[in-house]
Amino acid sequence: MFKPPLSISPLFIAITATIPTLSQATESPQAEGFVAGSSLRLNARNYYMNRNRQQQADDNIEWGQGFLGIFESGYTEGTVGFGLDLNAMLGLKLDGGGGTDNSSILPVSDGNGNAPGSFSTAGATLKMRAFNTELKAGDLFLNNPVIAGGQTRMLPQTFRGVSLTNHSFDGWLIEGGQASFTKPYNQSGHKRIGTSYGNLRDGDESLHLNWAGVAWSGAPNLTSSLYASELKDIWNQYYYDLDYTYRINDKIILNPGLHFYHTQDTGQALLGNIDNNTYSLHLTVGIGSHSVTAAYQRVNGNTPFDYIAQGDSVYLDNSQQYSDFNGPNERSWKLKYAYDFAGVGLPGLSSSLSYSRGELDLSKVDPQSRGYASWHSADGQNAKHWERDLDLQYVVQGGTAKDLTLRLQWATNRGGNGYGALDNDTDEYRVILDYPINVF
């Protein structure tokens, strides 16, 4: 199924220089002073998006310039150390309005179709560390399979709450927390956490999301993780993955992997009944600078696989630039080819081309569902759609512009057999320019 304007997948994470990844988080922090251990990182992101709706007269076109600054202090000395993190964001509209807005780069416009000229936000996080445990409270950058802030727009999404991480055992990350509010990536203020595909009724909202999980990387080339979350009065969601890289020789590697989600309604069930098992399997064969990936994904349930609004917490192989292929009872296949031009003497230049195809049954969706009734279509028993994605990226390798990144993305999604009840045929173009700066 297509991604709504305020929903994304984790295909493009270009601010990894500023936001820690899960693998980075498994490394135990070193004992440094409050000042000596501090850092300041900036990122300037120029973002253009054009969604060309084939059955509509107006396209969604927006162009903006974003600025992100993150200061992270070290910890005070002693058995228990204290620190402070700060962040500030500014988004400027370069183009977007007159009916072409609402692509999700800029804030949702007024009734005249004109997005505001700028938007900004700032946040702070208090943190405490004792032994191998770190506690944070405030505005959080989160990145795990059940609550991951969206990073694939002009500015990142953050959450307001508390988090706890522990690195007491080699190769293990243990974490948990609670988030009550989110700062969406295209607006200044905070709001309660919603979902990407469910429609909450007026007055309904979840008060918080709780999560806990473990990630393991204790064996060479083998990783696994297990997470659980509760979006209060909406769902309990569980996740498991297993990924292995086997090197046959210096040039050939095999990489099989599995992702699995189970989602079940809970509490007041504000989105109605949910009983959904979704999984994906992949196998990547790498030969030198070339790699080919084949993936299969299956949604078992009469509701779509859903995740938090604007979030990147959809760790599935067939989550593409435009569509997640996550519709009710959907089966999908993907074939992807990637090439690293370092093999021909052009380090920093990489590309990928993929084709995905899905079949789903919309007739089994409950037309009286509290949150997913809009997915029902009596004519959608054998709905189909396909997507073609092309991605080209270049990262400057040295000089004053080192790490400057230019990324070009193009997605084409077409549907049939009743799929039009959900979405229009769409072409989507993205041009993203990132310039990260490590001040200190």
Residue range 28-85, pLDDT digits in tens: 445 578 999 999 999 999 999 998 887 665 678 899 999 999 999 999 999 999 999 9
Query: What pLDDT digit, counting tens, does each position of 322-336 carry?
Result: 999 999 999 999 999
Q: Which two tokens stand for residue 264?
A: 């079940």
Domain range 22-438, CATH architecture:
Beta Barrel (2.40)
How far apart CA 328 and CA 24 sit, in angstroms, is 35
- pLDDT for res 14: 36
Query: What pLDDT digit, counting tens, does each position of 251-271 carry?
Result: 999 999 999 999 999 999 999
pLDDT of 174 > 60? The answer is yes
Between CA 320 and CA 328, with CA 326 as vertex, the angle to 5 degrees is 160
Considering just the CA atoms, what is the radius of gyration of the chain in Å? 22
Would you say 382 and 418 are in contact if contact means Cβ atoms under 8 Å apart? yes
- pLDDT for res 209: 97
Give the up-direction half-sphere exposure of residue 164: CA atoms within 13 A in the CB hemisphere: 11
How far apart CA 72 and CA 18 sit, in angstroms, is 10
How far apart CA 383 and CA 47 sit, in angstroms, is 33
The band of 9, judged by pLDDT with boundaries at 50, 70 and 90, is very low
- pLDDT for res 129: 96
pLDDT of 275 > 70? The answer is yes
- pLDDT for res 18: 39
pLDDT of 339 > 80? The answer is yes
How far apart CA 205 and CA 195 sit, in angstroms, is 10
- pLDDT for res 299: 97
According to DSSP, the residues that pair with 182 across neighbouring strands are 159, 191
The closest of 46, 64, 104, 94 to 434, measured between CA atoms, is: 46
Average pLDDT over residues 134-147: 97
Query: What pLDDT digit, counting tens, does each position of 239-249 carry?
Result: 999 999 999 99
**More confident position, 146 or 2:** 146
- pLDDT for res 218: 87
Q: Which two tokens stand for residue 198?
A: 């469910």
The band of 13, judged by pLDDT with boundaries at 50, 70 and 90, is very low
The proportion of the chain whose per-residue pLDDT surpasses 90, expressed as a percent, equals 80
